[in-house]
């Protein structure tokens, strides 16, 4: 198995507050990896470390065997869509094309190849007929699909998603996870999620993160085993030991 | 209208005013759209008022107030950009301080300028009918700078307005782009101050783009529409003020404001009727 991501003994602090404490994590090609845990537990910080936008205080992060600053363009990133402006005058296609705008390239136009890639990405998420629609007028699930297409458009080998199903109803959550499962045949996926009960049938690895990372014990992943991990890891340290 | 056209062909200053309307509409159509979607009207207002400080100092030193305006505008943009990035928790206080202190500095220097004392009002309220040919050339150069930078970085600016966090995570130089965008707004403020004056700049920077934003879902079209609307407001204001002998800047802003209200009201009415017919 090829190692996609390797995190060794990583700690991160922000203004003297320890956010991540000696994290070890390994993701292999083809994995569908879920990170669960409470808000403020350091999940977003972990994603930023993986994408190389911040550097660890201690320890090393290796993305595709190198420092993330060099390789982060091999990863596609899907942020939470809740923060995005509702009235913003931008079409679905324009949002997807934003994913083609990588650093170092300042040619002021999207090429035909960019447009072709955007169309293909929209097709992959089932939105190929909505390219001209206003992003703000889409449903929550369609917005999330658009953001997934934006991540796919750069042809990534790893897809990183920050709570892709927050604020969506149950049926739409299932649709999004089914889509991710389908995409997982080609790309490795790391997802931050609160949907403990739902992810079990889709992912193959789970870890609990709240400053420290507690991996799911080897064996079958089920809603019960995830709930168990959450409770065990969330309990005060004295109880776990 | 015919009377205005006759005057247009007869007088150089009216031709200059029409040119100034063109040049300023181009600038405020482009940068105004970014101001609206990024919601930085307050920052833009701060820059506009701080410009008086630069104008006053330049005037006192016997230099061209326009040069002082450009320097003060760019300095304010840089300062507010750094504040936004490094001391965000104090941002609105610092904008207010810059806003007021800039004006105070301007008022003091203008008051202390010896000799023939220019009317403070002409700085504050501008006069599109007093735009001279050399000033037009400066406006043209500023316009070309704005046009060039936006042509190259159109998509980058759009991304940092739409989803700053994503842009940052994808390794775009978000901070640099943001400061460049503020500098473009600063240059636009200088151009507009010649047309409607410092106090009313914020109206032309926001209202045409806001109306355009109500009417289209596409950002490029929003820029085009905002430019056309601004041109319409300034020319209509010019004609009306000529016939009624009113201050042109104020009439231009009034027309823009009324149009914004009408479009917003019309849209509400239309949406409500549509909703009712769906029931």
Least CB–CB distance from A91: residue in B151, B169, B217: B217
**pLDDT at position A240, please?**
41
Chain B environment of A48 (Cβ under 8 Å): 169
3-state secondary structure of B156: helix
Q: For residues A104-132, give the mean pLDDT.
A: 85
**pLDDT at position B197, please?**
87
**pLDDT at position A161, please?**
94
| Interface list for chain B against chain A, based on CB atoms closer than 8 Å | 37, 151-156, 158-159, 161-163, 165-166, 168-173, 213, 216-219, 221-222
Confidence of residue B124 (pLDDT cuts 50, 70, 90): confident
Q: For residues B39-63, give the mean pLDDT.
A: 92
Q: B184, B199, B192: which is closest to B233 by C-alpha?
A: B192
Domain A3-83+155-240 has CATH 3.40.50.300: yes
Q: For residues A31-57, give the mean pLDDT.
A: 90
Least confident of A69-73, A188-192, B101-105: A69-73
For residue A187, pLDDT over 90 is answered with yes
Query: Is A77 within 8 Å of B170 when comparing Cβ atoms?
Result: yes
Query: Is A73 within 8 Å of B171 when comparing Cβ atoms?
Result: yes
Least CB–CB distance from A51: residue in B37, B153, B169: B169
Least CB–CB distance from B166: residue in A73, A77, A134: A77
Query: Is B171 within 8 Å of A110 when comparing Cβ atoms?
Result: no
- CA dist B226 and B37 (Å) reads 13
Kindly identify which residue of chain B lies nearest to residue A96, measuring between CA atoms: B159
Q: How far is B175 from chain A (nearest CA, A)?
A: 13
Query: Is A101 within 8 Å of B156 when comparing Cβ atoms?
Result: yes
Q: For residues A16-34, give the mean pLDDT.
A: 92
- Look at the block and give the residue holding tokens 């929550």: A140
Least CB–CB distance from B165: residue in A79, A91, A94: A79
Do residues B35 and B219 lie in contact, with contact meaning Cβ atoms separated by under 8 Å?
no
Query: Is A52 within 8 Å of B171 when comparing Cβ atoms?
Result: yes
Output the pTM of the full model: 0.88
- CA dist A2 and A65 (Å) reads 9
Kindly identify which residue of chain A lies nearest to residue B159, measuring between CA atoms: A98
Least confident of B1-15, B146-160, B191-205, B230-244: B1-15
- CA dist A77 and A149 (Å) reads 10
CA angle, A210 then A224 then A29, to 5°: 65
Least CB–CB distance from A89: residue in B151, B173, B222: B222
**Cα-based distances in Å from A119 to A88, A94, A129, B7, B196:** 21, 11, 10, 54, 45
Query: Is B166 within 8 Å of A106 when comparing Cβ atoms?
Result: no
Q: How far is B166 from chain A (nearest CA, A)?
A: 7
Q: How many helices (H) and strands (E) does chain A have?
A: 9, 9
Query: Is B168 within 8 Å of A53 when comparing Cβ atoms?
Result: yes
CATH number at B92 reads 1.10.3470.10
Do residues A46 and A20 lie in contact, with contact meaning Cβ atoms separated by under 8 Å?
yes
Kindly identify which residue of chain B lies nearest to residue A45, measuring between CA atoms: B169
Query: Is B172 within 8 Å of A103 when comparing Cβ atoms?
Result: yes
Least confident of A70-84, A136-150, B9-23: A70-84
Kindly identify which residue of chain A lies nearest to residue B156, measuring between CA atoms: A101
**pLDDT at position A58, please?**
92
A235 or A13, which is more confident: A13
A20-59 burial code (b ≥16 CB/10 A, e <16): bbebebbbeeebbbbbbbeeebbbbbbbbbbbbbbebeeb
Chain B environment of A95 (Cβ under 8 Å): 162
- Give φ, ψ of A3 to 5 degrees: -85, 120
**In chain A, where are the structural domains located?**
3-83+155-240
Confidence of residue A167 (pLDDT cuts 50, 70, 90): confident
pLDDT tens string B228-272: 999 999 999 999 999 999 989 899 999 999 999 999 999 888 888
| Interface list for chain A against chain B, based on CB atoms closer than 8 Å | 48, 51-53, 69, 72-73, 77, 79, 83-85, 87-91, 94-95, 97-98, 101-103, 106, 108, 110, 134, 136-137
Q: Which domain holds residue B261?
A: 2-278
3-state secondary structure of A210: strand
Least CB–CB distance from A108: residue in B152, B161, B173: B152
- CA dist B11 and B17 (Å) reads 10
Confidence of residue B279 (pLDDT cuts 50, 70, 90): low
Chain B environment of A70 (Cβ under 8 Å): none
Mutate to test the interface with B, among A55, A75, A78, A90 (most CBs of B within 10 A): A90
**pLDDT at position A69, please?**
87
Q: For residues A52-74, give the mean pLDDT.
A: 90
Cβ-Cβ pairs closer than 8 A, A with B, add up to 76
For residue A104, pLDDT over 60 is answered with no
Burial of B204 per CB tally in 10 Å (0-12, 13-18, 19+)? buried
- Is the ipTM of this structure higher than 0.90? no
Question: Three-class SS string for B37-66?
Answer: HHCCHHHHHHHHHHHHHHHHHHHHCCCCHH
Confidence of residue B165 (pLDDT cuts 50, 70, 90): confident
Chain A environment of B173 (Cβ under 8 Å): 103
User: Residue A23: enclosing H or E segment and its boundaries?
Assistant: strand A17-28
**pLDDT at position B117, please?**
61
Q: For residues A183-187, give the mean pLDDT.
A: 93
3-state secondary structure of A202: coil
Confidence of residue B116 (pLDDT cuts 50, 70, 90): low
Structure-block tokens of residue A170? 């149950």
| The residue count for chain A | 241
Q: B271, B233, B224, B272: which is closest to B251 by C-alpha?
A: B233
pLDDT tens string B53-71: 999 999 899 888 889 999 9
Do residues A78 and A148 lie in contact, with contact meaning Cβ atoms separated by under 8 Å?
yes
Least CB–CB distance from B162: residue in A48, A72, A88: A88
**pLDDT at position A241, please?**
37
- CA dist B260 and B229 (Å) reads 10
């Amino acid at each position: 198995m090829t190692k996609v991501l390797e995190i060794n003994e990583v700690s991160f602090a922000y203004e003297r507050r320890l956010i991540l404490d000696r994290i070890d994590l390994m993701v292999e090609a083809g994995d569908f990896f879920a990170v669960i845990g409470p808000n403020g537990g350091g999940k977003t910080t972990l994603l930023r470390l993986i994408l190389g936008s911040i550097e660890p205080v201690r320890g090393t992060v290796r993305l595709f065997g190198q420092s993330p600053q060099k390789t982060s363009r091999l990863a596609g990133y899907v942020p939470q869509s809740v923060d995005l402006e509702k009235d913003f005058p931008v079409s679905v296609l324009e949002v997807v094309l934003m994913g083609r705008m990588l650093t170092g390239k300042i040619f002021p136009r999207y090429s035909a190849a960019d447009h072709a890639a955007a169309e293909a990405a929209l097709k992959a998420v089932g939105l190929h007929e909505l390219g001209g629609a206003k992003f703000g007028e889409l449903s929550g699930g369609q917005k999330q699909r658009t953001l997934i297409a934006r991540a796919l458009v750069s042809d990534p080998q790893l897809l990183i998603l920050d709570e892709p199903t927050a604020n969506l109803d149950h049926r739409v959550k299932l649709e999004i996870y089914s889509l991710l499962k389908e995409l997982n045949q080609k790309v490795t996926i790391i997802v931050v999620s609160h949907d403990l009960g739902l992810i079990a049938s889709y992912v193959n690895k789970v870890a609990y993160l709240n400053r420290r990372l507690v991996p799911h014990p080897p064996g079958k992943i089920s809603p019960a085993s995830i709930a168990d991990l959450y409770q065990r890891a969330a309990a005060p340290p004295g109880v776990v030991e | 209208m015919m009377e205005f056209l006759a005057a247009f062909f007869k007088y150089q200053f009216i031709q200059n005013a029409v040119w100034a309307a063109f040049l300023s509409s181009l600038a405020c159509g482009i940068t105004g759209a970014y101001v609206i979607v990024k919601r930085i009207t307050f920052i833009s207002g701060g820059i506009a008022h701080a410009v008086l400080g630069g104008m006053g100092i330049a005037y006192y030193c016997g230099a061209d107030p326009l040069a002082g305006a450009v320097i003060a505008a760019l300095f304010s943009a840089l300062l507010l950009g750094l504040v936004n990035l490094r001391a965000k928790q104090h941002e609105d206080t610092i904008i207010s301080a810059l806003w007021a202190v800039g004006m105070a500095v301007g008022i003091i220097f203008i008051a202390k300028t010896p000799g023939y004392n220019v009317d403070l009002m002409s700085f504050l309220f501008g006069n599109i009918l007093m735009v001279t040919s050399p000033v037009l050339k400066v406006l043209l150069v500023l316009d070309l700078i704005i046009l060039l930078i936006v042509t190259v970085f159109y998509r980058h600016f759009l991304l940092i307005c739409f989803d700053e966090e994503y842009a940052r995570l994808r390794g775009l130089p978000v901070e640099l782009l943001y400061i460049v965008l503020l500098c473009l707004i600063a240059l636009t403020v200088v151009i507009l101050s010649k047309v409607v004056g410092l106090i009313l700049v914020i109206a032309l920077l926001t209202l045409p783009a806001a109306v355009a934003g109500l009417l289209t879902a596409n950002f490029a079209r929003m820029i085009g529409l905002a430019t056309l609307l601004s041109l319409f407001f300034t020319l209509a204001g010019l004609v009306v003020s000529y016939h009624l002998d009113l201050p042109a800047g104020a009439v231009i802003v009034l027309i823009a404001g009324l149009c914004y209200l009408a479009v917003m009201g019309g849209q509400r009415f239309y949406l409500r009727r549509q909703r009712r017919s769906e029931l």
